[in-house]
A and B are shown apart, each in its own frame.
Chain A
Amino acid sequence: MHPFDYIQPGSVAEAVGLMRDTADARFLAGGMTLIPVMKQRLAAPSLLIDLARLAELRAISAKGGTLTIGALARHAAVAESPVVQARIPALASLAAGIGDAQVRNRGTIGGSLANNDPVADYPAAMLALGARIRTDRRCIDADAFFTGMFATALEPDEMIIQVEVPVPEAAAYQKFEQPASHYAVAGVMVAKAADGVRVAVTGAGSGVFRMPAMEAALADDFTPAAITGIAVPADGLNADLHASAEYRAHLVTVLAGRAVAAAMGRS
């Protein structure tokens, strides 16, 4: 790693101020992405602004039809939270399936969303559930938040504070994981709410995306049979040593069907 300075600010305002005033600074949350990337010298920030002291950003709560998860909530905390398990069990089990136990003990939802790895799990959940990402300065709909591979709508000095997730009638996530890293070769989150059905896909493309044809079919008939005939074009999907684009396209339809079946079991 290249040398850098390190600071643990005591407030969100201080952290954002440091970020604004320092060239090449980065926020540090769980460090499960940023530290390995720095060790590989793919990133060389001048200053790490460690958010560890902002304990209020670890809170998880529910009010009315909204589940609120602080940016610094760790994957293990989301997985084990009775509040998440009661309101959106699919989100608790998604968190329980991220990486391995030690990654879940450190990694945070805010770090995962800010990083927007095209094979990460949380982006699919946020998009399918129609979550809002609240930052230090505004609220961004999931539909506008994820803008491409490792890219988000966040401004360079903007910090995620929490996510606000509408509780659906039913939801489920299915992932076909790469067995060494547990990242998604393909993953599909399906959510059924009063205002319609949303289907979000991770792992398969250059970033998370929705499947409008499946959403329309499921709005009429929320069963796996409604979408088994909906083929996903392989054009533009990821192809690597783990899977071809055609295989990923096939997986998306299979996983979407399984997610609908699982969601029906939960509704």
Chain B
Amino acid sequence: MIAIALTVNGKPVAAEVEPRRLLVDFLRDELGLTGTHIGCDTSQCGACVVHMDGVSVKSCSLLAVQADGSQVTTIEGLASDGDLHPMQAAFREHHGLQCGFCTPGMVMSAIDLAARVPEPSPADVREWLSGNFCRCTGYHNIVQAVMAGARAMSTDG
């Protein structure tokens, strides 16, 4: 077992983990943060995307020990005082989800795009989300939601 200390959604977390413990399993099974999903478990689908030190990563392809000392944000860490994050609000407003399985990963990935490209084009969004699979929506409304969410994030400052 290896001792790790990290910050998850703004709160300090210390734990002892086996080196082979995946970050996604640590978040879900030990911290109870089940908003981060496991779709493929083979680094393809993006259901498990979280932020580590501000950039989006696939938590099924990272070890918990690799997150030692880092700042991790999951979908649960986005809303503040009951107010949805602008990207979450945009997904609701634009019907960017149906079953919702892909949504946490989509939202976390989209926020990383918006941080780099404040006004992404539809092509930018589709290209950026190529590692996030959705089996319900046909992507159209997700693209609309991400563009609106990115705009809202840049006006929020």
Tell me the B95-146 residues at the A interface (CB within 8 Å).
109, 112-113, 128, 130-132
Q: How far is the CA of A105 from the CA of B19 in the complex (A)?
A: 22
Given A100-B130, A101-B113, A102-B56: A5 in contact with B19 (beta carbons within 8 A): yes
CB contacts (< 8 Å) of B113 on chain A: these are: 101
A48 at the interface (CB under 8 A from B): yes
Q: Which residues of B contact A182 (CB under 8 A)?
A: 130
Which residues of B lie under 8 Å from residue A23 when comparing CB positions?
none
Kindly name the residue among A1, A48, A106, A180 whose own CB sees the greatest number of chain B CB atoms within 10 A. Answer: A106
B66 near A52 with CB under 8 A, answer: yes
By size class, the interface of chain A is 20 to 34
Contact partner of B57 (CB less than 8 A), chosen from A4, A40, A106, is: A106
- A35 CB–B CB distance under 8 Å: yes
CB distance from B107 to the nearest CB of A (A): 14
**Are A102 and B19 touching (Cβ within 8 A)?**
no
- Taking CB atoms, residues of chain A closer than 8 Å to B18 are 3
**In the complex, chain A residues whose CB is within 8 Å of the CB of B42:** 36, 39-40
Of A28, A38, A102, A181, which one neighbours B58 at CB under 8 angstroms?
A: A102
Give A52 Cβ to nearest chain B Cβ, in Å.
7
Known contacts A1-B20, A39-B42; A6 and B56 CB within 8 A of each other: no
CB-based nearest B residue for A53: B69
B5 at the interface (CB under 8 A from A): no
Interface size on B, residues (CB 8 A): 26
Which A residue's beta carbon lies closest to that of B18? A3
Query: Chain A residues with Cβ under 8 A from B132's Cβ?
Result: 100
Interface check A99, CB cutoff 8 A: yes
Q: Is A2 an interface residue (CB 8 A)?
A: yes
Pairwise interchain contact B61-A36, C-beta atoms closer than 8 A? yes
**Shortest Cβ distance from residue B41 to the other chain A in the assembled complex, whole angstroms:** 7
B6 is an interface residue with CB less than 8 A from chain A: no
Q: How distant is the Cα of A99 from the Cα of B127 in the complex, in angstroms?
A: 11
CB-based contact A35/B65 at 8 Å? no
Q: Are B2 and A101 in contact (CB under 8 A)?
A: no
Choose one: A3, A101, A106, A181; the contact of B109 (CB below 8 Å).
Answer: A101
Whether B63 sits at the interface, judged by CB under 8 Å, is: yes
Q: Bound state CA distance, A39 and B62, in angstroms?
A: 11
| Chain A proximity of B63: nearest CB distance (Å) | 7
* Chain A contacts for B44, CB-based, 8 A: 180-181
Give residues 94-116 of A contacting B (CB, 8 Å): 99-103, 105-106
Query: Is A16's CB within 8 Å of the partner chain B?
Result: no
Complex Cα spacing A5 to B19, Å: 6
The answer, among A99, A100, A105, for a CB contact under 8 Å with B55, is: A105
Bound state CA distance, A103 and B45, in angstroms?
Answer: 12
Q: How far is the CA of A100 from the CA of B55 in the complex (A)?
A: 13
Contacts of A101 in B (CB 8 A): 56, 109, 112-113, 128, 130-131
Q: Say yes or no: B61 contacts A4, CB within 8 Å.
A: no
Q: Interface on A for B, CB 8 Å cutoff?
A: 1-6, 28, 31-32, 35-36, 38-40, 48, 50, 52, 76, 99-103, 105-106, 180-182
3 closest A-B pairs (Cβ-Cβ)?
A: A100-B131, A6-B19, A1-B20
**Interface pairs (7), CB distance under 8 Å:** A4-B20, A6-B19, A28-B66, A40-B42, A102-B131, A106-B57, A106-B61
Task: For the A-B complex with A32-B43, A36-B61, A48-B19 known, give 8 more contacts whose Cβ atoms are closer than 8 Å.
Answer: A6-B63, A28-B66, A32-B61, A100-B46, A101-B112, A103-B43, A105-B56, A106-B61
